[in-house]
Chain A
Amino acid sequence: MNTPLRRVSLVVMGLIVLLLGQATWVQVVKADEYKANPYNQRVLLDEYNRQRGQISAGGEVLASSVATDDRFKYLRQYSNGPMYSPVTGYYSQIYGTTGIERSMDSVLNGSDDRLFVRRISDVVTGRAPAGGNVALTIDPKVQRAAYQAMVSRGYEGSVVAIRPQTGEILALVSTPSYDPNPLASHDGQTQRDAWQALNPTSGDSPLVNRAISETYPPGSTFKLVTTATALEANMITPQTPVTAEPRITLPDSVTTLENYDGERCGPGPTVPFSTAFTKSCNGPFAQLADQVGADRLRAQATAFGMENPNLTIPMPVAESSVGDLADGASLAQSGIGQRDVRLTPLQNAMITATIANGGIPMQPHLVSQIQGQDLSVVDTTEPDRLSRAVSGGTASTLTQLMIGSENGGTSGGKIPGIQLASKTGTAEWGSAPKTNPPHTWYDVFGPVPDPQVAVSVIVEKGGNRGDDATGSSVAGPIGRAVVAAALQQGGR
């Protein structure tokens, strides 16, 4: 029986060889694929033991890792946490990461290919591998002005400021905000308590980044897009007479649409279009939207950057959309930014910045530089021109209309000697649109003729004015304060 014994020995060796082969398959051939699988938490978890790069803006360090003497070696700390948390996000062992912490993770944890040479030198010199740094386009004084303006009044909403010529995001504010420090704590209980206090499952949670993750009906600020469409189609000039009636009947229906407070747009049967724009009369814009048609309106919105589910700054931005535009009635309502039109505050700022930049949208971005551990520059973001949204002539006409709108408004905060161009919006929302306090918008850029900043402000639910709130009275002063901060010399 020795022959079968030897054969059994061979079978045993064969079984072991099969195991060796399969182990090689898993650990060598498929290793990279498995390792990179999003469900593999190890790569993320390993990073808690390494020094993560810092996030800075305008010379201020917003987030950094400091050495500790506990098991995790480094603690993530945020200076001015609530002011910058919509940008930095949080870095939690239990709850994961968001914001720049998530989007620029490969740089911050040191695994990004652009840091490759440095990693090699780390190995050679025996230095502990550390992450690269991320410098942001945020201008601290603009961010501070925007955040203080919102918080001091107790407003919920968002402010986004963009430099029109480059697409650099100068401010990205979402209120109410939260402090990311306790979420980065090494104490599990601290993390859990902080998380629960933020009411994470609620749509109103401070964890929701209103600037990029939330979409709102844009109200009258969307008249910029409707007007741009009509101007591009040569269907209108500022002098074109349009209806002055306080209410119109929507096309294909019996529903009527009325102006704010049911006011007439002018004493006669018609007014010039520029007057209708200044007074933001709803009737003419609803008719205009119906005239240009769904296809052109949607195309124009897309040219401004809407209908794009893949926009990243580098955090992913929720898609802004004009909605279905199924029939004439919905098209007319969409023309004044109601119905199913939904924009992120960032998208509204992009539209404003595009007009300020003579019709050319610039790719919005938050990261200005990627730096090595020693702050040497590894990569710099170059401004990225997107394809022209409207002609220079249209942009210039829109600017003139917006100047008229700004100068016609009465609310406070005007900056002496500086000409701004703006459009307000007061948007009804929710299931009880007539009784909910409206969302108030203010899109502004300035100074004309050389705009340095474009801002979009939204104050949710009427701020502190309730049902009487308008874009002009509530959001306007905040927008002007932000522009004023951006125009201050020095600092940056």
Chain B
Amino acid sequence: MARPAQAASRAGRTGGPGVAPAEMPADRTALRPAVAAAVSTRRGIELLLLAFAAVLTTGALVLVEANQNQQLTLQLLYLGLAYLALFSAAHVAVRRFAPYADPVILPCAALLNGLGLVMIHRIDLALALRASLQGNPAPDANALRQIAWVALGLTLFVIVLWRVRDHRTLARYGYTAGFIGLVLLALPAVLPSALSEVNGAKIWIRVGGVGIQPGEFAKILLTVFFASFLVAKRDLFTTAGKHVLGMTFPRPRDLAPLLIAWVVAMGVLVFESDLGTSLMFFGIVLAMIYVATERSSWVVIGLVIFGAGAFAAWTFVDRVQTRVAAWLDPLSDPTGATYQVSQGLFGMATGGMLGTGLGAGRPELVPLSSTDFIFTSMGEEIGLIGLMALLLLYCLIATRALRTALAVRDTFGKLLAAGLGFTVAIQVFVVAGGVIGLIPNTGQAAPFMSYGGSSLVANYVLVALVLRVSDAARRPAAEKGRSEPGAAPTPPRTPLAEAHTEMVSRSEAATPPHGNPVAPATPPRGRARE
């Protein structure tokens, strides 16, 4: 454990990078490079939390087996060991490639992933039992396949940490990322339904037996694109137009990028029948524009045009109407159109405050109980208390990412971390809100928990990027020099509290659109001193 000085590490935790700069007179890494060497990497904490997640996951698995009245099968051992091995490997990779990264995010993801695996395994058992009762052959075990996806996801996680040594290099590929992201987002709409439609939503690319939801990857690529685009074109968004009701509205001609995003979101909604992806995509765009411009007028405009578009979609698209009707009255057609939603609600209600206990409920009665409806499966078996814990885990991941955005110094990093953090939050809101009846159900995978490879792999890439940014945010200056030998010598730093973030924008605006912020000619560390 790299924890040379207990006192220093405790101080580091109380005055972490997420605390508001104004209240943080002593960010050691910034103020006192002399003690930088003493900064804790907090990898020990991460390992401890990962071990805790492993204990919880194994305990949950044992509960499932006990309640399903099975012996401790060999399969159980494989599942537990595979989980431990995979996350130990991920931890070692973080230790090596991003030693100063946030120690909470990966264990949160691991715990969600572990509990999700347990639930998938539990539903496997139930479906196998049902199949044998009906005389059908047992379905494939999804849990084992999901472990393969975890392995792939964590491999990509390691690769991203290894290959992307500085997140600012990503800004160079902003437009490429944006282009590929758009193609991925639009591809299922263009492909024939046989290749792209599952359960009525055209959000898949299916080749052979393997299905990929390109939207999951598109959300990351588009976040990267928007971060770099906003850094380059920030003045476009901040040019003042009219003042109305105390808000500064942008000039109409500057609305083009937002309108393009709106058209894309509406296209997804209409042609792919997927309110979830549409809402998520547009929400991320809005949040990032707001962070970049600090103008609430953008949010107002965005919400108004999205609301109008959604209303139009509700008027003209049957599937959207069906889902809205099912949301307004989930019990209106419990054997037909609202079967899934109502069964989900019944499951949660049966679970109640404490839940039925893992393995003791009937989550498999809900169609797609291990993918879109995993929240209701969890709510049924671990109760309201367990469900709240899960939601707070997601909240932790999202807020830790936003905290990283506060702490990191470069604008691109801020926007990237904020965008990725908000992605997790809004995806959870769309998925969980849909299945528990807060908003119309949309059919999306819950990050880390749901069965499904695309979502899992994409979200581990997302975590890797956030860890990369957080590593940069907390890395002491001395180490920065070492890890980036090509960079110019780091100039002395201004205390965060005194750093004028507005000045950053002028500097960024001066950078050519495709400019490389890492280029030695304009060392990013120096911008704040201009």
Output the least CB separation between B328 and chain A (Å): 14
- The answer for the CA separation of A15 and B287 in the assembled complex, in Å, is 13
Interface centre among A2, A32, A33, A93 (most CB of B within 10 A): A2
Quick check: A8 and B291 within 8 Å, CB to CB?
A: yes
Q: What's the Cα separation between A45 and B126 when bound, in Å?
A: 12
Min CB distance A190 to B, Å, is 10
Q: Is the interface of A mostly helix, strand, loop or mixed?
A: helix
Given A41-B362, A188-B135, decide whether A2 and B501 contact each other with a Cβ distance below 8 A. Answer: yes
Q: Is B392 engaged at the interface, CB distance under 8 Å to the other chain? A: yes
Q: 1/0 contact trace for A8-30 toward B, CB 8 Å?
A: 11011101101110111011101
B421 / chain A contacts, CB cutoff of 8 Å: 12
CB pair B399 A42 closer than 8 Å: no
Q: Of B129, B395, B437, which contacts A12 at CB under 8 A?
A: B395
Given A8-B291, A39-B346, A19-B133 contact (CB < 8 Å): no
List the B side residues contacting A73 at CB < 8 Å.
69
**Distance A93 CA – B129 CA, assembled complex (angstroms):** 13
Note all chain B residues with C-beta closer than 8 A to A40: 343, 346, 349-350
Stretch among B152-160, B426-434, B473-481 lining the A interface: B426-434
B205 contacts chain A at the CB level, 8 A cutoff:
no
The 4 closest A-B pairs by CB, nearest first: A34-B349, A40-B346, A39-B334, A22-B438
When C-beta atoms are compared, the residue in chain B nearest to A45 turns out to be: B362
Interface string of B392-419 (1 = CB under 8 A from A): 1011001100110110000100100010
Interface residues, chain B, CB within 8 Å of chain A? 20-21, 68-69, 129, 132-135, 287, 290-294, 331, 334-335, 342-343, 345-353, 361-362, 365, 379, 383-384, 387-388, 391-392, 394-395, 398-399, 402-403, 405-406, 411, 414, 418, 421-422, 425-426, 428-429, 432-433, 436-438, 501
Q: Is A433 an interface residue (CB 8 A)?
A: no
Q: Is the CB of A5 closer than 8 A to any CB of chain B? A: yes
For residue B391, which residues in chain A have a CB less than 8 angstroms away from its CB? 16, 19-20, 23
Q: Is the CB of B394 within 8 A of A5?
A: no
**In the complex, are the beta carbons of A8 and B422 less than 8 A apart?**
yes
Of the residues A27, A30, A192, contact of B351 by C-beta under 8 Å: A27
Q: Please, which residue of chain A has its CB at the minimum distance from the CB of B335?
A: A39
The answer to whether B438 touches A12, judged by C-beta atoms less than 8 angstroms apart, is no
Please tell me if the beta carbons of B350 and A42 are within 8 angstroms of each other in the complex.
yes
CB atoms of B69 and A71 under 8 A apart: yes
Q: List 26 A-B contacts (CB under 8 A).
A: A1-B292, A1-B294, A4-B291, A4-B293, A5-B405, A8-B290, A8-B291, A9-B399, A12-B425, A13-B399, A18-B429, A19-B428, A19-B432, A22-B437, A23-B384, A23-B388, A26-B345, A31-B353, A37-B342, A39-B334, A40-B349, A40-B350, A45-B362, A45-B365, A73-B69, A94-B133
By a beta-carbon cutoff of 8 Å, the part of chain A in contact with chain B is 1-9, 11-13, 15-16, 18-20, 22-24, 26-28, 30-35, 37, 39-43, 45-46, 71, 73, 93-94, 188-189, 192
Interfacial chain A residues near B129, Cβ < 8 Å: 71
- Closest A residue to B361 by beta carbon equals A42
> Chain A: which residue is nearest B426 at the CB level?
A15
Residue numbers in B under 8 Å from A39 (CB-CB): 331, 334-335, 342-343, 346
A30 to chain B: which residues have CB within 8 Å? 345, 349
Evaluate contact between B294 and A23: CB separation under 8 angstroms.
Answer: no
Cβ-neighbour of B437 out of A26, A188, A189 (below 8 A): A26
A41→B362 CA distance, assembly (Å): 9
Q: Which residues of B contact A3 (CB under 8 A)?
A: 294
Contacts of A20 in B (CB 8 A): 388, 391
Distance A45 CA – B363 CA, assembled complex (angstroms): 12
When the two chains form their complex, are residues B350 and A6 in contact, meaning their CB atoms are under 8 A apart? no
Task: Contact check, B348 vs A23: say whether CB atoms are below 8 A apart.
Answer: yes
Give the Cβ gap from A5 to chain B, nearest Cβ, in Å.
Answer: 5
Find out whether the CB atom of A1 lies under 8 angstroms from the CB atom of B501: yes
User: Are A16 and B132 in contact, CB atoms less than 8 angstroms apart?
Assistant: no
- Is A27 touching B352 in the complex (CB atoms < 8 A)? yes
A-B contact sample (11 more), CB < 8 A, given A27-B387, A43-B350: A9-B399, A9-B403, A12-B398, A19-B428, A20-B391, A23-B432, A26-B436, A28-B352, A35-B349, A39-B335, A42-B350
Asked whether A2 lies within 8 Å of B362 as measured between CB atoms, the reply is: no
Is the beta-carbon distance between A22 and B436 smaller than 8 angstroms?
yes
- Nearest CB in chain B: distance from A93 CB, A: 7
Nearest B residue to A187 via CB reads B133
Chain B, residue nearest A26 (CB): B348
Task: Determine which of A8, A26, A41, A94 lies in contact with B349 in the assembled complex, contact meaning CB atoms within 8 Å.
Answer: A26
Cα distance A6–B294 in the bound complex, in angstroms: 11
A9 to B387, CA, bound (A): 21
Q: Which residues of A contact B69 (CB under 8 A)?
A: 71, 73
* A386 and B294 alpha carbons, distance in the complex (Å): 79
User: Do A27 and B134 form a contact, CB below 8 Å, given A6-B406, A8-B290, A13-B399?
Assistant: no
B38 to chain A, nearest CB (A): 26
Indicate if the CB atoms of A27 and B437 lie closer than 8 Å. Answer: no
Instruction: Contact check, A2 vs B438: say whether CB atoms are below 8 A apart.
Output: no
* CB closest chain-A residue, reference B411: A1
Which residue of the partner chain B has the closest CB to A21?
A: B438
CB of A28 within 8 A of CB of B331, answer no
Centre residue among A13, A23, A45 by max chain B CB count within 10 A: A23
How far, in whole Å, are A39 and B349 apart by their CA atoms in the complex?
Answer: 13
Does A188 contact B133, Cβ atoms closer than 8 Å? yes
- Chain B residues lying within 8 Å of A43, measured Cβ to Cβ, are 350
Q: How far is the CA of A19 from the CA of B129 in the complex (A)?
A: 33
Query: A12-B398, A43-B350, A188-B135 are contacts. A2–B20 as well, Cβ < 8 Å?
Result: yes
| Nearest chain A residue, comparing its CB with the CB of B425 | A12
Q: Are A4 and B406 in contact (CB-based, < 8 A)?
A: no
- Closest B residue to A27 by CB, please name it: B384
Of the listed residues A13, A28, A34, A93, the one surrounded by the most CB atoms of chain B closer than 10 A to its CB is A34
> In the complex, what distance in Å separates the CA atom of A27 from the CA atom of B129?
27
* Given A8-B422, A12-B398, CB of A35 within 8 Å of CB of B350: yes
Contact between chains at A188 and B134 (CB < 8 Å): yes
Q: Which residue of A lies closest to B505 (CB)?
A: A1
Minimum C-beta distance from B295 to chain A (A): 9
B contact residues around A1 at 8 Å (CB) = 291-292, 294, 411, 414, 501
Query: What is the CA–CA distance of A94 and B361 in the complex, to the nearest angstrom?
Result: 18
B425 surroundings in chain A (CB, below 8 A): 12, 15-16
Give CA–CA (A35, B353) in the complex, Å.
13
CB distance from A321 to the nearest CB of B (A): 30
Q: What's the minimum C-beta distance from A129 to chain B, rounded to whole angstroms? A: 13
Instruction: Give Cα distance in the complex from A18 to B421, angstroms.
Output: 18
Contact B384 A24 (CB under 8 A): yes
Give the Cβ gap from A365 to chain B, nearest Cβ, in Å: 33
Contacts of A31 in B (CB 8 A): 348-350, 352-353
Which residues of chain A have C-beta atoms less than 8 A from B68's C-beta?
A: 71
B433 closest partner in A (C-beta):
A19
Give the complex CA separation of A26 and B351 in angstroms.
10
Residues of chain A within 8 A (CB-CB) of B403 are 9
Say whether B362 contacts A46, CB under 8 Å. yes
User: What's the minimum C-beta distance from A256 to chain B, rounded to whole angstroms?
Assistant: 52
Q: Which residues of B lie under 8 Å from residue A9 when comparing CB positions?
A: 399, 402-403
Q: How far is the CA of A34 from the CA of B429 in the complex (A)?
A: 23
Cβ contacts under 8 Å, A6 to chain B: 20, 406
CB closest chain-A residue, reference B295: A4
Residue among A9, A41, A43, A73 with the most chain B CB within 10 A?
A9
Listed residue (A3, A15, A20, A27) with the most chain B CB atoms within 10 angstroms of its CB: A27
A22 neighbours in B (Cβ, 8 Å): 433, 436-438
Q: How far is the CA of A46 from the CA of B384 in the complex (A)?
A: 20
Instruction: Give every chain B residue within 8 A of A34 (Cβ-Cβ).
Output: 345-346, 348-350
Please give, as numbers and ranges, the residues of chain A lying within 8 Å of B134 by CB-CB distance.
Answer: 188
> Do B133 and A93 have beta carbons less than 8 Å apart?
yes
**Inter-subunit contact B132/A23 (CB<8 Å):** no
In Å, the complex CA distance between A13 and B403 comes to: 13
Most buried by B among A11, A33, A94: A11
Note all chain A residues with C-beta closer than 8 A to B383.
27
CA distance A213 to B20 in the complex (A): 75
Say how far B139's CB is from chain A's closest CB, in angstroms: 15
Quick one: given A27-B384, A46-B362, are A5 and B414 in contact (CB under 8 Å)?
A: yes
